[in-house]
Amino acid sequence: MVDTGDLKSPPRKGVRVQIPSPASMKEKEIDGGICAARGFRAGGIWCGIKAASHKPDLALLVSEYPCTAAAVFTTNQVQAASILVTKEHLKHGTIRALIANSGNANACTGETGLNDARRMAALVAGAFTLPEHEVAVASTGVIGVPLPLAALEAGMDSLVRSLRADAAGSDAALEAIMTTDTRKKTRAVALELGGVPVHLGAIVKGSGMIHPNMATMLAFITTDAGIKAPLLDSALRQAVSRSFNRLVIDGDTSTNDMVLIMANGAAKNKTITALDADYAIFVQALEQLCISLVMDMAKDGEGATKMLSVTVDKAADEKSAEILARAVAASSLVKTAIFGSDANWGRVLCALGYAGVAFNPDRVAVSFASAAGVVQVCQQGSLFPFSEAEAKKVLSEECIGIHITVGDGNGTATVWGCDLSYDYIKINGDYRS
């Protein structure tokens, strides 16, 4: 996975660099999804894995050029065959293609499942005359059910023919990886590195079984930037740590989670080989791209009626702030209060208290915010007099923010999530049927 080349000082995993100010950024949103980056084609079809629904269930992404690649995977000890195969293939250093299916997780399927995941890679490798290790594999769907490999094999010709180098191709691939998602989640941005235009694009599926680390999801990111593999890995880990790893829907972490980024260098920028200004710009763009996708996922949480963002500031450090914010965003009692538009700020303090981070409860302040306004409900750890009617109005909006101040430190972090509604149980109560 790591090609150090002429890189003199490869970064440690998780290394952070100084980010340029927003005024210095030339990043803008564009169309195209994973095909916004030059040299990438994508497509998707129905091949019969989702036999009953006839919804698209097989996706393909191919680069015209070899790609440096990096990935972050689920921390669940039970890992799908696709995760194990892709981890092995990434060790070779170059990825040219990705095949992904929905409707079947190919997890807890033993040696047969591993062979099926390898066969998926072999089918793509054969179609494009690639080594099998240059093909990544991803799966999502029901756990513990054998993959209907014959349906997948029969659909390969149609899948290859579906490839397009435009937004339609990206959308087709996205639709083919969606399960309980109710909306498409895709983003792309254009920026400059050393005066050269480069692009980042992404598609994401994820609606339930989402809880750090990582959030349950499949995320595929492309870029035509040239960047050495160790730096791409470091950039992805920093972006994931401040985005996908700060998303909480329901407290479950799945067996198939994967964030994969492929960089093919087609933009012909000066290859990023050091922790310089171009690297900082690239990391910032990648991080903001991922945060935008996280917010889209929070809005599409299973059964969700509201998106929730929880920001903690003045904590001892960023990690402490993140842990505190995550406890609040994950609290079922907080989530149900948000669903009911109930300004039950005591549940917020309760969640802070069991987060496992030291703070002074007597210094806590809490406010709720939305497009309807801001209402403070707690100051110095006690009730701050407020209008229940005004709070109800604020909490009845679609996007709700909880702002929490816990002390006088420098740590701040935001975690995203959603409310918990009756529909969450309806969706998951009969998921297999």
Distance CA 238, CA 101 (A): 27
Place of tokens 């100084």: 18
Catalytic site includes residue 216: yes
Question: Taking a C-beta distance cutoff of 8 angstroms, is the pair 119, 166 a contact?
Answer: no
> Which residue type does 305 have?
T
382 CB burial (10 A radius; 0-12, 13-18, 19+): exposed
245-264 burial string, b = 16+ CB within 10 Å, else e? Answer: bbbbbbeebbbbbbbbbbbb
Contacts of 35 (CB under 8 A, 6+ apart): 41, 42, 164, 165, 166, 167, 169, 170, 201, 222
Q: Which residues pair with 61 in a beta bridge?
A: 42, 98
Rounded to 5°, the CA angle 79-80-83 comes to: 85
DSSP, res 10: P
Contacts of 129 (CB under 8 A, 6+ apart): none
> What backbone torsions phi and psi does residue 405 show, to the nearest 5 degrees?
-110, 130
Catalytic residue among 109, 179, 216, 223: 216
Strand (E) or helix (H) holding 322 = helix 318-330
3 state SS of 48: coil
Residue 268 — left, alpha, or beta (φ > 0 → left; ψ -120 to 50 → alpha)?
left
Distance CA 36, CA 174 (A): 14
Active site residues: 216
